[in-house]
Chains A and B, each alone.
Chain A
Amino acid sequence: MQGAPEILVVDDNPADAVLVRESLAETSHQSHIYSVTDATEALAYLRRQRKYQMTARPDLVILDLNLVHRDGHKFLTVIKSDSGLRQIPVVVFSSSESLSDITRSYLLGANCYVSKPADLKRYFSAVRAIEEFWFGYASLPKKENDERSSCARIAD
């Protein structure tokens, strides 16, 4: 992984985004966390539109299903059917434990589903485990803006 991981948190509750930030504040990955509160903003961020033209494409999206109009699923559908975005891993991080939400998320292409633990310690360790798995163990696809450097590596 080159540079610090970029994580986009999509959660309508800013307090939850703060908790994610707090969870990862002291880990070794030093992830950059950006948070948005609705699906429209998240799509603009991922597509680098409007004020997000200069932002880096995230390595991971942490998505709450319970967005305004409950459109977490819709957001998931949109990015997983967009050939430019679908390779970005999406971890659904939701307070819902309902089997239908879980199944639907995977059907729509979520890479992982984690229920938000109600207890603070477990919440912290869940978020840290997500970070550790995706940036400590998993191999990720190359990012668009990394293309030049990986081409150079192939040429070596």
Chain B
Amino acid sequence: MATVGISNPKSRLRLLLLEEHGIGEDPTVWEMDYDGGALPGDPRHTPEKLHKWLTSKKICPCEPRKMAETDLARKMEELSRSNRELEQFAYVASHDLREPLRMVATYTQLLAERYRGKLDRNADQYMEYATDGALRMQALIQDLLELSRVGREGGKKQSIDCDAVLEEVLRDMSSSIRDSGAIIQHEKLPAVTADRCYLLQLFQNLIGNAIKFRAKAPLEISVAAEAEGKYWRFTISDNGIGIAPDCQENIFTVFQRLHARTEYPGNGIGLAICKKIVEQYGGKIWVDSKPGTGSQFKFTLPAGQPCEQGAS
């Protein structure tokens, strides 16, 4: 006795013939472009009858593996289509949304500038709210674009010396490091396979966070790396305010903020960008933290070529 399964994804019709006795264990799959015409009615046709019907319709059987392959190809196609749509969305956000928003922002600013103190006190307040909202939305869109850029522009895969990257980040951030009184220590860091710009951003975001969320005690930050198979595991430790255990996973989600904007500025995009960068190279990022004690941000990246010393 054979069972016939019929599936009809979009206009492609598949007839699955499961032969339960004798002939073989693999199901035979029949595939055809379905034109809406008559089907062999009773799904419990005998294989012979079904075969006859299919042959009369000039339909050929196809291997189950081949069907899996076409399935896979179709899913890949669907994935790349949805990726293209996302890219398109980023483009729309960058060009078409920003333009009208710029108008709102500049004209509320112009209104506030020209008419501050000339209307009543409420009006001044309202204009301030409107300007503030527009400027914040601009910042959010800018951040979203930043996030969408990671990956879309396909980061390079080069062997990059993290020591040099960290030195550059520390140089760029020297004024905020000085202002916060932070003491930053680091071991000799290895080379990883990634994009230099992304690495700069990664270290800058993590060290920037350590500085931003510092406690009252003098801030100490240390950066270290340990080999973990073909990866390096980096640890950036601080003695800052720390993160409550139930929030530790959320912090890598876009626009997730744990504090009021007035307490700590920012849109909550930094760690989401870090996550996207690290994951692009098959790495992971997570945090070990205790409120009031400090945080250890850890991430893994594939090892690069060891630094050539004295090589010509």
User: Which residues of A does B touch, CB under 8 Å?
Assistant: 13, 15-16, 19, 22, 66, 95-96, 98, 116, 118-121, 123
Residue among B98, B103, B106, B107 facing the most chain A CB atoms (10 A cut-off): B106
Chain B residue contacts of A16, Cβ below 8 A: 103
Whether A120 contacts B99 by the Cβ 8 Å rule is no
**CB-based nearest A residue for B145:** A97
Please tell me if the beta carbons of B106 and A118 are within 8 angstroms of each other in the complex: yes
Other A-B pairs beyond A13-B103, A95-B99, A119-B109, 10, CB < 8 Å: A19-B106, A66-B95, A95-B95, A96-B95, A98-B95, A118-B102, A118-B106, A120-B105, A120-B110, A120-B113
A16 to B: closest C-beta gap in Å: 8
Interface residue? B138 (CB, 8 A): yes
Q: What interface size band does chain B fall in?
A: 10 to 19
* A122 nearest CB neighbor, chain B only: B106
Contact with A along B214-254 (1 / 0, CB 8 A): 00000000000000000000000000000000000000000
**A to B CB contacts below 8 Å, 5 in the list:** A19-B110, A95-B95, A95-B98, A118-B98, A119-B106
What A residues does B98 contact at CB under 8 A?
95, 118
A-binding residues in B (CB < 8 A): 94-95, 98-99, 101-103, 105-107, 109-110, 113, 135, 138
**Nearest CB of B to A18, in Å:** 9
Contacts of B109 in A (CB 8 A): 119-121
Q: A15 near B103 (CB under 8 angstroms)? A: yes
A66 touches B99 (CB 8 A): yes
Given the known interface contacts A95-B98, A96-B95, the answer about A119 and B103 at a Cβ–Cβ threshold of 8 Å is: no
CA of A123 to CA of B138, assembled, Å: 15
Note all chain A residues with C-beta closer than 8 A to B101. Answer: 118
